[in-house]
Amino acid sequence: MKEFTLDSLGWCGWFEQQAKKLCEGEKLVARVAAVDRDQLLLVGEIGFFRAKLSGKYMYESESASERPCVGDWVCVEKPEFDQFGVVHKVFERRTCLRRKAAGDSVEFQMIAANVDFVIIVQSCYYDFNLKRLERYLVMIEEGGSTPLILLTKTDLVTSEVLADQIEQIRNADITEPVGSLSNVTKEGLDELKSTFSPGKTYCFVGSSGVGKSTIINSLVGRNVLETKVVSSTGEGRHTTVRRELVLLENGAMVIDNPGMREFGVFGAEDGIEASYSDILALASQCRFRNCTHSNEPGCAVLNALERSEIDAEHYDNFIKLRQESEHYLLSNAEKRKKDREFGRFIKSAKKELEDE
């Protein structure tokens, strides 16, 4: 049997510090490899084993995002002869990948936790979309992990099409590494392989049918994940239904994901305007143009709230969403600006060297 050490599963000082408080006595630490309803597949020093959440934990956790998700570290009690372990605590996440749950709420759906790199997969063949790519980048940066971009199905397009897509990415000031591959010709696969480091966790995201599971199967060298041949482009249905952490030969960990058709990162085009057109219409009548609708005099939104012309919960959601949105957009814009400035600095430094 394969030997597991905590370090090889991504354990680090961040978790070690929490362990003293969260996980005393006989309990073990382990990492969540998959979640099947109320059952967890964990991996720790004793290998893979099944576990459930303690009743107390179920009772006390208030939102779905507090429940363990793939990639989480947990504190678990596992008597040797019991089939199931019992999970008592979830460690604070070092990074997370989450999206806004559907509907008029600010609930988040966890996609994965403690991921080092997120690989955004888009197929060159009728899937490439710059706006969607940018929304993924915002989501990933917000969660604290590092994005990588991967264009797939290069066998179905000409090299000009691929070159044009890469140019579009660069023209949009996206500086993250861009790789490309074909699962059919295998071109680019070795290069992708060489980017994986032992002990690091990589999560694949992207629309359904772009080839995420096929890539992971190639990396493992075996069909550990289901993929489906419906048409060569694979559009139209989801094959992967659960998130799963898979260990690669070289010690890296990869997480497969079901394709995401739509997901919410708050942005102008993501439905705030449609859902809150009533509030936005009022906002245009506020005394101050930069009114935050929280305490300003002459705020038309607050006036309407006082007269019960808008629903208090609807208003609260709007404020929360907008704060999130500003945070997302600002942090992203600022980061890009810094990156650009740094890029210019490097360029001019290089030029100076050349000129000398």
Ligand X SMILES: Nc1nc2c(ncn2[C@@H]2O[C@H](COP(=O)(O)OP(=O)(O)OP(=O)(O)O)[C@@H](O)[C@H]2O)c(=O)[nH]1
Judged by the rule CB under 5 A, the positions of this chain that interact with Mg ion are 212-213, 239-240
Minimum CB separation from ligand X for residue 178, in Å? 16
Minimum CB separation from Zn ion for residue 309, in Å? 14
Minimum CB separation from ligand X for residue 40, in Å? 21
Q: Does 259 bind ligand X (CB under 6 A)?
A: yes
* β-pair partners for 84: 50
Q: Does 99 bind ligand X (CB under 6 A)?
A: no
Instruction: Characterize 166-198 residue by residue with b for buried, 16 or more Cβ atoms within 10 angstroms of its Cβ, and e for exposed.
Output: beebeeeebeeebbbbbbeeeebbeebbeebee
Asked if 40 and 87 touch (Cβ cutoff 8 Å), the reply is yes
Asked if 79 and 88 touch (Cβ cutoff 8 Å), the reply is no
Give the E-state strand segments of the chain in sequence order: 28-36, 39-44, 47-53, 73-77, 84-90, 96-100, 108-113, 117-123, 146-152, 178-180, 201-205, 244-247, 253-256
Q: Does 223 bind ligand X (CB under 6 A)?
A: no
For ligand X, give the closer residue by CB, 44 or 259: 259
Q: Does 180 bind ligand X (CB under 6 A)?
A: no
Minimum CB separation from Zn ion for residue 285, in Å? 8
For Zn ion, give the closer residue by CB, 9 or 286: 286
Span interacting with ligand X, options 3-11, 86-94, 153-161, 169-177, rule CB under 6 A: 153-161
Residue among 122, 182, 201, 332 that touches ligand X (CB under 6 A): 182
Q: Does 179 bind ligand X (CB under 6 A)?
A: no
Q: Does 152 bind ligand X (CB under 6 A)?
A: yes
Burial class from Cβ neighbours inside 10 Å (0-12, 13-18, 19+) for residue 92 reads middle
Span interacting with ligand X, options 22-30, 60-68, 180-188, 262-270, rule CB under 6 A: 180-188
Minimum CB separation from ligand X for residue 195, in Å? 17
- Judged by beta carbon distances under 5 to 8 A according to partner kind, the member of ligand X, Mg ion, Zn ion, none in contact with residue 152 is ligand X
Residue among 35, 86, 210, 300 that touches ligand X (CB under 6 A): 210
Please write down the HEC assignment for all residues of 282-307. Answer: HHCCCCCCCCCCCCCCCCHHHHHHHC
Residues that bind Zn ion (CB under 5 A): 286, 291, 293, 299, 301
For Zn ion, give the closer residue by CB, 121 or 301: 301
Q: Does 235 bind ligand X (CB under 6 A)?
A: no
Cα–Cα dist 88/56, whole Å: 8
Interstrand relation of 146-152 and 96-100 (parallel, antiparallel or unpaired):
unpaired
Residue 92: what residue type?
A: E
Asked if 151 and 136 touch (Cβ cutoff 8 Å), the reply is no
Q: Does 243 bind ligand X (CB under 6 A)?
A: no
Burial class from Cβ neighbours inside 10 Å (0-12, 13-18, 19+) for residue 76 reads buried
- ∠ at Cα 46 (240, 146), nearest 5°? 50
Minimum CB separation from Zn ion for residue 291, in Å? 3
Q: Does 153 bind ligand X (CB under 6 A)?
A: yes
For ligand X, give the closer residue by CB, 69 or 215: 215
Residues that bind ligand X (CB under 6 A): 152-153, 155-156, 182-184, 208-214, 227-229, 232, 234, 238-240, 258-259
